[in-house]
Amino acid sequence: MNLMLIGRIEKVEAPKEAKANGQEWWYVECAAAGAWTQAHSRKHARLMLVDWFETCVNRLVFKATATEIGRSGNGFAILIDANQRQHLMSRVLVYQRWKHKLSRETVAKRAGLSGDTYTAYEEGRAIPSLDTLGALLEIVAPEFALMMGPRVVPANKAPKRRRVVRRRRRAA
């Protein structure tokens, strides 16, 4: 299953000392996974979000990316991807279960799963089917939707369009 997460990044008012030094302040988050951080530049904020995921997953071979995919309100939408996507899903399950004050046993029981199976999903050792993931998200994150759509090509990687230059004719 190709699971990616959506986040957002936007410029916010900087603290007084940062403002005095002429610094910008950028806030970045992935609400589904409970990830947020801030930095002095958009690029650094994205890198810190990637670092958040890599630190939480805590596996040497796990690598995440955060790519801006377009404007969204006052900021930019970002796509969070990883080489081991089951760990993105596991971060969502863990955070949302914690946020809604549910135990692993409660979630497993409501989903009709064994405790060991659900634990394997939260630890990224197993990948649920699409139906099972949908059922789990209804339990742990009822305010979120599981959506599908085409993969988005980041603007900086999209094929360049040729610019057509039209010349005006001079009046004779």
pLDDT in tens, 106-124: 999 999 999 999 999 999 9
The reply to whether the predicted model has a pTM over 0.85 is no
Listed by start position, the domains of the chain span: 5-84, 86-140
Domain 86-140: which CATH number of 2.20.25.10, 1.10.287.3510, 3.40.50.300, 1.10.260.40: 1.10.260.40
Question: Which pLDDT belongs to residue 33?
Answer: 93
Question: Which pLDDT belongs to residue 110?
Answer: 96
Residues in contact with 24: Cβ distance below 8 Å, sequence separation at least 6, in sequence order: 11, 14, 18, 40, 41
- Contact call for residues 20 and 29 (beta carbons, < 8 A): no
